[in-house]
């Protein structure tokens, strides 16, 4: 297979973790007889500095023509003024919308070797295997906004079609896994959540009768996610709730540096990125954890390129590196940490 992959290193540790991940993809290509062509473009703060905007037209055009997009991270203190009219995060929102990506998949499967790094009791974490599916293009993040000297508003809006398509994506995934879908809303208060619950119930009843559906309010879900995480299989929710719950769920894995994500739409192209941020405090030091980005590359192979065996090989290699306690600073005891390049090489050395 020949595939064109657009690479968006972005800001902070983004260039470091992406640079560590590309050799892993190249090693997979060599072992399985593929050719991956990488094309680098700017997004986020670096794009603001170089082009005056967080998503240059050339970046979006390249992404639209690509087979997949691998992204590092965006943002940092240099561009952190919340009142600024141009911000790095706008580039991320715009490219998702420009590619028609509406479902963000975030797997959470704690690795046994890293359980000690989690603040959650280890006995609660054994056997946890969750995928959170977050709606990406609607809700309060994209609603009309107003600001005056005395008040501000953010409109939360959802259409039936937006809810249907992300629920179908999540339910399809649940059907392939353990057959249980949890839909998270705030239907006791919000009208958008009442619509969300009604549409979800109808789609599940009419199209996925074999999948068990459970409805949870977001506040209780925040508690249950930490107190009984083994009870959940696939979780689907709207944009802001998903943003918050997935960061909470990262604590189950012990480190944000272990969690990958895929942003998908109706077609094959997707954006694949670690869920952690740009970590400006450690940028340039060569100590960032590359595992989440490498695992995101595995999701790229699976979802955009249809290369299941190759994706599984990367995941097994990361698991083997963790079994061998090749830990970066976020996971290791003081003085025992591998650097970014060493962690990536440990994965390459264990590719089957």
Q: Which are the catalytic amino acids?
A: 141, 186, 219, 243, 247
By C-alpha distance, which of 291, 288, 287, 289 is closest to 320? 291
Pairing status of strand 68-73 against strand 2-10:
parallel
| Residue 274, both tokens | 């670690």
The residue with tokens 């190759």 is 310
Give one DSSP letter per residue of 94-153, joined into a string.
HHHHHTTEEEEEEEE---GGGGGGSSS-HHHHTT--EEEEEE-SSSTTTS-EEE-SS-EE
Q: How far apart are CA 288 and CA 340, in angstroms?
A: 5
Element (H, E) at 219: helix 218-227
By C-alpha distance, which of 271, 258, 268, 314 is closest to 74? 271
Q: Are 169 and 264 a contacting pair, CB within 8 Å?
A: yes
Q: How far apart are CA 99 and CA 63, in angstroms?
A: 8
Q: How far apart are CA 51 and CA 53, in angstroms?
A: 6
State the DSSP code for 272. Answer: E
34: phi then psi, degrees, rounded to nearest 5: -110, 165
Q: What's the CA angle centered on 52, arms 48 and 56, to 5 degrees?
A: 80
The residue with tokens 């280890």 is 122
Contacts of 64 (CB under 8 A, 6+ apart): 98, 99, 269
């Amino acid at each position: 297979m020949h595939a064109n992959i657009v690479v968006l290193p972005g800001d902070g540790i983004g260039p470091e973790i992406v640079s560590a991940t590309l050799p892993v993809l190249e090693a997979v290509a060599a072992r399985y007889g593929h050719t991956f062509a990488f094309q680098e473009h700017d997004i986020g703060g670096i794009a603001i500095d170089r082009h005056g905007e967080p998503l240059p037209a050339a970046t979006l055009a390249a992404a639209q023509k690509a087979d997949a997009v691998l992204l590092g991270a965006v943002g940092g203190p240099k561009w952190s003024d919340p009142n600024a009219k141009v911000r790095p995060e706008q580039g991320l929102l715009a490219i998702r919308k420009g590619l028609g990506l509406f479902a963000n998949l975030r797997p959470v499967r704690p690795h046994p070797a890293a359980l000690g790094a989690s603040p959650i009791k280890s006995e609660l974490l054994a056997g946890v295997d969750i995928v959170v599916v977050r709606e990406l293009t609607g809700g309060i993040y994209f609603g009309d906004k107003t600001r005056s000297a005395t008040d501000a508003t953010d409109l939360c809006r959802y259409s039936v079609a937006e809810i249907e398509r992300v629920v179908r994506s999540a339910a399809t995934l649940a059907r392939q896994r353990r057959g249980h879908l949890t839909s998270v809303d705030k239907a006791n208060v919000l009208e958008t959540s009442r619509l969300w619950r009604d549409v979800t119930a109808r789609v599940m009843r009419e199209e996925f009768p074999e999948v068990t559906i459970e409805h949870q309010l977001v506040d209780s879900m925040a508690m249950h996610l930490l107190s009984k995480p083994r009870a959940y299989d696939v979780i689907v929710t709207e944009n802001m709730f998903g943003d918050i719950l997935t960061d909470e769920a990262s604590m189950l894995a012990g480190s944000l540096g272990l969690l990958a994500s895929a942003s998908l739409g109706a077609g094959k192209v997707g954006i694949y990125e670690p869920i952690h941020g740009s970590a400006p405090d450690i940028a340039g030091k060569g100590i960032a954890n590359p595992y989440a980005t490498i695992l995101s590359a595995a999701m790229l192979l699976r979802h955009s390129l249809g290369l299941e065996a190759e994706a599984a090989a990367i995941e097994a290699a990361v698991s083997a590196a963790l079994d061998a306690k090749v830990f970066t600073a976020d996971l290791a005891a003081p003085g025992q940490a591998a650097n970014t390049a060493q962690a990536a090489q440990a994965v390459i050395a264990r590719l089957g």
